[in-house]
């Protein structure tokens, strides 16, 4: 037992001896449970940092599969994996467990939506945002407020990124910062302006630091960190709590009620995802038998890819369909109705 304690201390020695860290924070991290929402660029660097720091438990939720354009910004992905179309969380889980056996990893291949959000957040000490869309962030915000769980916001696009720690009841929440989603097309996306890996590393590093401060009890939240990596610009902006905030003041949890959770434009994919959460799951064998009669059908590890008349559909077991080749939500929904009948 004594030998094991010595081994653990040696593993984390360089962070333990940092004056603001110490053995107390290391012990707290060992018993900390984290929900990481998103397994893309930010999520990959965040998971690697959490595992290497010795966090006790991390649950990772992601709905996506690998593609070659992930390679330049995904911490766990090698070239063959990026080409393979493998499920991202499976790649991450396998490698994270090899990095550090002290951390228990639990993965969920699926969408984070209003029907499962509360159960996925059950029992965690912090939620860390690594998503690519505003709808999911508003949902995380409402879950965090409802459950009294702190969370760390993070976003990146182009060479710019932002992060903020949010402590329900103490700091401004995400809806205080952005009371309602901007009009479609107002925000830049990875599909239109790209993304560089350096800003991913910077923002994930800020998120991790906010998380460590939070677990130690030093972080009070409400400071928005805005970065432009290319221009070398860093700003720290105090976000005030909104007196009429619909989420943290009025407790109007519209996203938890499912009003905005069915259609999402996916950043960097030129695709729209449509969720059918009330169905809970698709029987892919039934769809496989139907779809193979028309078009080109490919079965990958855990999902189906179907191409017909120039339209590409991805069908996932957790009742999701991704339509590739458009960012128009109405068009995507119409295509699904036309070809799949749902």
Domain spans of the chain, in order of start = 31-238, 270-340
- Under the banding of pLDDT at 50, 70 and 90, the label for residue 184 is low
Q: What pLDDT does 289 receive?
A: 87
Cα separation of 147 and 144, whole Å?
5
Contact indicator for 270, 327 with CB cutoff of 8 Å:
yes
Contact indicator for 292, 281 with CB cutoff of 8 Å:
no
Cα separation of 90 and 301, whole Å?
10
- CA distance to 121, 164, 181, 264, 309, per residue, from 117 (Å): 6, 21, 20, 16, 36
Residue whose token pair is 């929402």: 37
Rg (CA), the chain: 20
Residue 342 has pLDDT above 70, yes or no: yes
| Mean pLDDT lowest among 95-99, 248-252, 334-338 | 334-338
Residue 20 has pLDDT above 60, yes or no: yes
Contact indicator for 175, 245 with CB cutoff of 8 Å:
yes
Residue 6 has pLDDT above 50, yes or no: no
CATH hierarchy code of domain 31-238: 3.40.50.720
Q: Select the more confidently predicted residue: 47 or 292.
A: 47
- Under the banding of pLDDT at 50, 70 and 90, the label for residue 264 is confident
- Under the banding of pLDDT at 50, 70 and 90, the label for residue 117 is very high
Residue 5 has pLDDT above 80, yes or no: no
> What mean pLDDT do residues 37-53 have?
97
pLDDT digits (tens, 9 = 90+) for 224-243: 999 999 999 999 999 999 99
Q: Select the more confidently predicted residue: 341 or 16.
A: 16
H/E segment holding residue 335: helix 329-340
- Under the banding of pLDDT at 50, 70 and 90, the label for residue 259 is low
Q: What pLDDT does 322 receive?
A: 92
Residue 185 has pLDDT above 70, yes or no: no
Residues of the chain with pLDDT > 90: what percent? 69
Residue 268 has pLDDT above 90, yes or no: no
Q: Select the more confidently predicted residue: 256 or 265.
A: 256
Listed residue (31, 33, 254) closest to 146, CA to CA: 254
Tokens representing 244? 């009429």
Cα separation of 214 and 208, whole Å?
10
Q: What pLDDT does 1 receive?
A: 39
Q: What pLDDT does 38 receive?
A: 96
- Domain 270-340 belongs to what topology? TATA-Binding Protein (3.30.310)
Q: Select the more confidently predicted residue: 315 or 301.
A: 315
Q: Select the more confidently predicted residue: 59 or 338.
A: 59
83 CB-near residues (< 8 Å, 6+ apart): 66, 67, 68
Residue 163 has pLDDT above 70, yes or no: yes
Residue 59 Cα to chain centre, angstroms:
11
The chain-wide mean pLDDT, for the chain, equals 91
First to last CA, the chain: 58
Residue 2 has pLDDT above 50, yes or no: no
270-340 shares the fold of 31-238: no
H/E segment holding residue 57: strand 57-62
User: Any long-range contacts for 92-98 (C-beta under 8 Å, 24+ apart)?
Assistant: 92/39, 92/43, 92/44, 92/47, 92/60, 92/62, 93/60, 96/47, 96/48, 96/51, 96/58
Residue 187 has pLDDT above 80, yes or no: no
> What mean pLDDT do residues 137-149 have?
97
Residues of the chain with pLDDT > 70: what percent? 95
């Amino acid at each position: 037992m004594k030998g094991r304690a010595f081994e653990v201390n040696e593993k984390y020695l360089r962070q333990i001896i940092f004056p603001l860290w110490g053995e107390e924070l290391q012990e707290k991290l060992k018993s900390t449970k984290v929900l990481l929402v998103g397994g893309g660029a930010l999520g990959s660097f965040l998971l690697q940092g959490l595992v290497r720091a010795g966090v006790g438990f991390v649950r990772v939720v992601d709905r996506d599969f690998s593609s070659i354009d992930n390679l330049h910004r995904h911490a766990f992905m090698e070239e063959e994996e990026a080409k393979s179309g493998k499920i991202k969380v499976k790649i991450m889980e396998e490698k994270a467990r090899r990095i550090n056996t002290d951390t228990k990893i639990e993965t969920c291949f699926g969408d984070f939506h209003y029907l499962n959000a509360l159960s996925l957040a059950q029992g965690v000490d912090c939620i860390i945002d690594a998503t690519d869309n505003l709808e999911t962030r508003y949902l995380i915000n409402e879950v965090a407020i409802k459950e009294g769980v702190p969370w760390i916001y993070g976003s990146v696009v182009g060479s710019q990124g932002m992060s903020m720690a949010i402590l329900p009841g103490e700091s401004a929440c995400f809806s205080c910062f952005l009371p309602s989603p901007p009009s479609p097309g107002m925000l830049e996306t990875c599909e239109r302006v790209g993304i560089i890996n350096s800003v991913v590393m910077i923002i994930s590093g800020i998120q991790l630091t906010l998380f460590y401060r939070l677990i130690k009890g030093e972080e009070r939240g409400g400071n928005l960190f805005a970065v432009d990596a290319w221009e070398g610009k860093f700003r720290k902006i105090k976000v005030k709590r909104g007196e009429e905030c619909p989420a943290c003041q009025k407790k109007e949890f519209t996203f938890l009620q499912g009003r905005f959770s069915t259609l999402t434009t996916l950043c960097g994919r030129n695709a729209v995802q449509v969720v059918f959460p009330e169905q809970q799951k698709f029987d892919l064998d039934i769809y496989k038998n139907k779809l193979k009669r028309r078009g080109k059908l490919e079965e990958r590890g855990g999902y189906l890819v179907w191409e017909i008349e120039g339209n590409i559909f991805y069908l996932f077991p957790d009742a999701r369909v991704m339509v590739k080749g458009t960012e128009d939500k109405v068009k995507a929904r119409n295509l699904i109705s036309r070809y799949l009948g749902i």
